[in-house]
Amino acid sequence: MMDWTDKHCRYFHRLLSRHALLYTEMVTTGALIHGDVARHLRFNAEEHPVALQLGGSEPADLAHCAKLGEQWGYDEINLNCGCPSERVQRGAFGACLMAEPQLVADCVKAMLDVVNVPVTVKHRVGIDKGESYEFLRDFVGAVSDAGCKTLVVHARNAWLKGLSPKENREVPPLRYEFVKRLKFDFPHLTICVNGGITTNEQVAEQLLELDGVMIGREAYHNPWWLASWDEAFYADGRGVLTREAAEEQMVSYMEREAAEHGTPWSAMARHMLGLRNGLPGARRWRQVWSDHRLKVLPPREVMALAHEGAQMAALARC
């Protein structure tokens, strides 16, 4: 989810669900050690609970960055051992780390030694075309022995060669049974599943045997889905914002970000383009919010144009 779940996206998603745990995009240790820490770690207080996802493979570097994450107020530090991209592999982290469980264990221990927040790991069920549950079990065993108590398991293998990151989310078959075997073999661990889940019914089915469900791109492309989660899974029946109210609050946020940090509204509006999916005029609404020629206008005027365009488009269909 690099370049997707930035702080603007997370602010928007928090408007739709009060309780879901939000994750940052993966931030590399190199970016934090040699780059602008504030740019990478600054977030809105409204985002809590929020986890910082790190990419790296050097225990000392990860410990340093985990400590930074705790100092900046993150509720959890997550180590990415699931990303299959070649760029990430060249940095010797991501999914290729599954081949080195002891190194991952050392990384986890180094982070746990310096922070008081939970340290979790996100990983795949395997790498390349191997179909060994024992490989997955041994990896989880090593990581849990180091002190990791929560694992988020993408239920597909990561093919390190021959597939693009997009293909790696679609081609390797889903093996939910592997994830459920992990919960059986490690009942004391919190085991969450990720991959291929697109409905509340599927979430509920997974929660019958597992402890949690992570949703990635489906939540991004269809964000209104999040608005059903608090009542469905957190017993919070207080109701949610309407789509219009969520958009209105995002516009207020855009105005605040522009005034305080000079952030253009287009950098924030892109994250809510799926908000009106399925509604009459949704396409025209998206087109207006995506129109770079309108960047010179304040976001509240763009919102008015978007609604006017959506209404006209909806009437034209009648």
Active site residues: 83
257 contacts: CB under 8 Å, gap ≥ 6: 8, 263, 268
- The residue written with tokens 């105005």 in the block is 255
> What is the C-alpha separation between 221 and 214, in angstroms, rounded?
15
> What is the C-alpha separation between 121 and 78, in angstroms, rounded?
5
Q: If we measure between CA atoms, which residue out of 194, 236, 191, 226 comes closest to residue 211?
A: 191
Phi/psi of residue 58, each to 5°?
A: -100, 115
Task: Kindly report the number of other CB atoms within 10 A of residue 95's CB atom.
Answer: 26
- The residue written with tokens 């075997």 in the block is 181
Phi/psi of residue 42, each to 5°?
A: -65, 135
> What is the C-alpha separation between 294 and 288, in angstroms, rounded?
8
Write out the two tokens for 288.
């207006």
Residue 132 contacts residue 181 (beta carbons within 8 Å): no
Write out the two tokens for 289.
């919010």
Residue 199 contacts residue 160 (beta carbons within 8 Å): no
